[in-house]
Structure 1
Amino acid sequence: MASMETADWNEEESYLSIVTAGSPQELKARRTACQQVLLEQLNVIPVEEWMYRVNAMHDQLARTAVHLCEAQMKEAGYGLPPCAYSFIVFGSAGRQEATLWSDQDNGLIVEGELEGDRGSYFEAFGNMLSDVLEAIGYEKCDGRVMCSEPLWRKSLAEWKHQLSDWMEQLEWEPVRYLIIASDMRHVAGSEELSAAWREALHAGFIDNSKLTTAVLRNTVRHKATLNLLGQVLTERFGDNAGGFDVKYGLYIPLVNIVRHLSLLHGIEESSTLKRLEDLAELNQYQHLEEIRRAVLTALRMRVNTPYTVVDGLLASSDYYPGDDLKNKRLRAELRESLLLIRRLHKALQRQLRSAERRQL
């Protein structure tokens, strides 16, 4: 995996200029400059290296947004942060797989109790930070997984209680929240708080067969992508007619499968590719190399879906156009990946039925 010290990275002044931005407007301009550099590198360098650079950019933008927000809070009369806190990300950002058009998926972990002035400060801070991120091009999350929301902005003690509560309920919605949380990654602030949060999450999975079964139940649901003859299913109607839903038809099923296996074995990595590396060291699973190839296919297709540009910012439907699917090599890779997913899902469904029978 590439590192921040690669020569190409350090030569790009547009990346390094992010940390010196003095306002959200400046930060947005630096982001659009970085995006242009990245678009020029797309399909020129390996997709895993390209994704690394994209997500390193997102991390720098987020850290700078946090610092700008602290300064704005001080100017607004709130003063400096009253205690340590951690800014964390979930979703594709948590997995270091965000695209150039990904939206917000984030939260806050706060030291101590969120009461009185401390509670007021971080309520205002969470709202302001979400607004700053929106101003620099990160749309607010439709599912409201953002630091502006009380559910995703808590003290460490409150977070531990929340995680425990989700683990005990075992119903679809709390388990869905827990799955979202399991992709958490630290970006800014106190690494100690993030580490304590992560330890609490993974401790709840140890010897907890009912919880892993509940996660498996959520994992085996996925969109049908092949017909009975093994042909790729595309959208029949609407704006995306003829296109293939890369995100929910290919990428998310692979993410879900790898995440489930990782939680089962206490793997703390959040990146899908890094999780696969750790799973390979266990020498317990076949098909991991096939899964890795399928993940790379999913990433390549996802970052090559058509996009629009509005005010310098990118947006995409996550559908791969039908005309591009006529490429024989790509269609063969896609079909192979979807057949693999179908086999894996059938195996997981058998495991789920067996686990549910044991727990009766």
Structure 2
Amino acid sequence: MVHLSWDQVQEQISQANDLPSLRAIREQAHETYRDPLLFADFMDYHVGLNRLHDALIRRTVQLAEAAAAQRGLAAPQPGYAFVLYGSGGRSEQTLWSDQDNGLVYDNPSCEEEAEHAARYFEQLAGDIHAGLEHLGYAPCTGQVLAGNALWRKPLAEYARMVESWMEEPVWENIRYLLIFSDIRCVYGDESLVERLRQTQLNFVKSHPDVLQAMLRNTLHHKVQLNVFGGLITERYGEDAGGIDIKYGVYIPLVNGIRLLAELAGIGAASTLERLDGLERAGAIAAPFAGELRQAMKTVLKLRAMTPYQMEGELYTTRGKLQPEALTRQVRQELKFCLRLGRKLQRYVTHAVKGERQ
């Protein structure tokens, strides 16, 4: 598999007829692509890796559909979309990213159709969940999963749920709202997702006060720089001396750029696409956008360098860059990203409050 291109790997995935075959392809991919620094262009690697995940997930959904048909379970009339949240929604997955997903289906036309659709999609979501676990995708610890009825609904109910979070912007509701903001259709009817996102963006535009609540959640994760500008490293445990790349570096950048996109009414899910949209809209000056773009590409590379481990048959990670990886160059890159993260948090605070910079 070493000699295969991303397109050729995806072709293998599309032709796989069962979960063991898909698992074998994923295991080969881990052997081939586990060291991103071996690739000449990291962003080409990053885009290819996320296309690989999308292809594995899509094929798992298709196999689940086929299994339902073999059991005599008739597919309901409404179309549906299987969606990703988190890093999957943003197309920013690492080799070992977990499951963050949901399912939205078109509104049934009658009660009988509604009952059938609810039963079908509950079973389909269960099969997809089991299939992805077979491939090594650990389930989201926060239960952001299509198997959880909260994240599996017809379009109208999904839209009402999202609006209810914005109408009552307590911490937990805003946490769900920010998760939802990264929604992306990976399989099925993309128009359902577009309609949901537009519902949310329209509400934010007409109720800008909800941005204040979103700001509080957005600033929750602090950048890992001390008052002297030094890196804050892990003090205890097996990661002592390392740094929390996910929550200390990556998430502050993602959260800040996401909120600016919400403020500007930009519906893109990828952080880099959000930056492009913000620059085009004049919401961020080109020099600052360029710095943020560089920081995001750097932190995506550093995040890909964090080690993973197996828990049973599942790929997992603690998201920490180990001490031996903190070379002088990496430390300089980290400080650049962290300073930009701190600057971004100040910028977002002023932007939400309507203050001029």
TM-score by length of 2: 0.91
Distance 2:338 2:224 in 1: 7
Shift of 1:43: 4.0
Deviations 1:22-62 (CA, angstroms, capped at 9, x unpaired): 11111111222233333366441322221111110111111
289-298 or 153-162, larger mean C-alpha shift: 289-298
- Please say if 1:24 is aligned against 2:19: yes
Q: 1:351 to 1:188 in 2, by over 3 A?
A: closer
Shift of 1:220: 1.4
333-342 or 239-248, larger mean C-alpha shift: 333-342
Q: 1:42 to 1:18 in 2, by over 3 A?
A: farther
Is the Cα–Cα contact under 8 Å of residues 15 and 30 in structure 1 kept in the other structure? no
Matching residue of 1:241 = 240
- Please say if 1:345 is aligned against 2:345: yes
Which amino acid in the other structure matches residue 83 of structure 1?
P
Shift of 1:310: 6.9
Is the Cα–Cα contact under 8 Å of residues 268 and 274 in structure 2 kept in the other structure? yes
- Please say if 1:137 is aligned against 2:136: yes
Which amino acid in the other structure matches residue 49 of structure 1?
D
Matching residue of 1:71 = 66
Is the Cα–Cα contact under 8 Å of residues 245 and 321 in structure 2 kept in the other structure? yes
Which amino acid in the other structure matches residue 116 of structure 2?
D
Which amino acid in the other structure matches residue 80 of structure 2?
Y
Q: Residue 54 of structure 2: SS of its match in structure 1?
A: helix
Shift of 1:348: 3.7
Q: Residue 187 of structure 2: SS of its match in structure 1?
A: strand
Q: Residue 82 of structure 2: SS of its match in structure 1?
A: strand
Q: Residue 204 of structure 1: SS of its match in structure 2?
A: helix
Q: Residue 79 of structure 1: SS of its match in structure 2?
A: coil
Matching residue of 1:226 = 225
Is the Cα–Cα contact under 8 Å of residues 32 and 313 in structure 1 kept in the other structure? no
Is the Cα–Cα contact under 8 Å of residues 70 and 81 in structure 1 kept in the other structure? no
Matching residue of 1:4 = none
Distance 1:89 1:210 in 2: 27
Unaligned runs of 5+ in 1: 1-6
Q: 1:274 to 1:347 in 2, by over 3 A?
A: closer
- Please say if 1:9 is aligned against 2:10: no
Matching residue of 1:146 = 145
Which amino acid in the other structure matches residue 341 of structure 1?
G
Shift of 1:88: 0.7
Which amino acid in the other structure matches residue 54 of structure 2?
D
Distance 2:255 2:38 in 1: 26
Matching residue of 2:319 = 318
Deviations 1:105-135 (CA, angstroms, capped at 9, x unpaired): 1111111237322211111111111111111
Q: Residue 242 of structure 1: SS of its match in structure 2?
A: coil
Is the Cα–Cα contact under 8 Å of residues 19 and 60 in structure 1 kept in the other structure? yes
Matching residue of 1:103 = 98
Deviations 1:292-340 (CA, angstroms, capped at 9, x unpaired): 1111121111001122357886432211111221x21211111122122
Deviations 1:73-99 (CA, angstroms, capped at 9, x unpaired): 122231234431111111000000011
TM-score by length of 1: 0.90
Distance 2:199 2:38 in 1: 39
Which amino acid in the other structure matches residue 342 of structure 1?
R
RMSD: 2.1
Q: Residue 337 of structure 1: SS of its match in structure 2?
A: helix
Q: 1:324 to 1:150 in 2, by over 3 A?
A: same
Distance 2:222 2:32 in 1: 34
Deviations 1:216-260 (CA, angstroms, capped at 9, x unpaired): 121112135111211101011111110100000000000001000
Matching residue of 1:191 = 190
Q: 1:77 to 1:235 in 2, by over 3 A?
A: same
Is the Cα–Cα contact under 8 Å of residues 276 and 292 in structure 1 kept in the other structure? yes
Which amino acid in the other structure matches residue 269 of structure 2?
S
Q: 1:301 to 1:121 in 2, by over 3 A?
A: same
Shift of 1:72: 1.0
Is the Cα–Cα contact under 8 Å of residues 42 and 50 in structure 1 kept in the other structure? no
228-237 or 278-287, larger mean C-alpha shift: 278-287
Matches within 5 A, 1:26-105: 26-39=21-34, 42-105=37-100
Which amino acid in the other structure matches residue 238 of structure 2?
D
Distance 1:271 1:158 in 2: 25
Is the Cα–Cα contact under 8 Å of residues 104 and 146 in structure 1 kept in the other structure? yes
- Please say if 1:159 is aligned against 2:158: yes
Distance 1:292 1:54 in 2: 19
Is the Cα–Cα contact under 8 Å of residues 90 and 105 in structure 1 kept in the other structure? yes
Unaligned runs of 5+ in 2: none
Which amino acid in the other structure matches residue 207 of structure 1?
S
Q: State, as a whole percentage, how many aligned pairs show the same letter.
A: 36
Q: 1:135 to 1:9 in 2, by over 3 A?
A: closer
Distance 1:312 1:30 in 2: 15
Distance 1:258 1:150 in 2: 29
Shift of 1:198: 2.1
Which amino acid in the other structure matches residue 343 of structure 2?
R
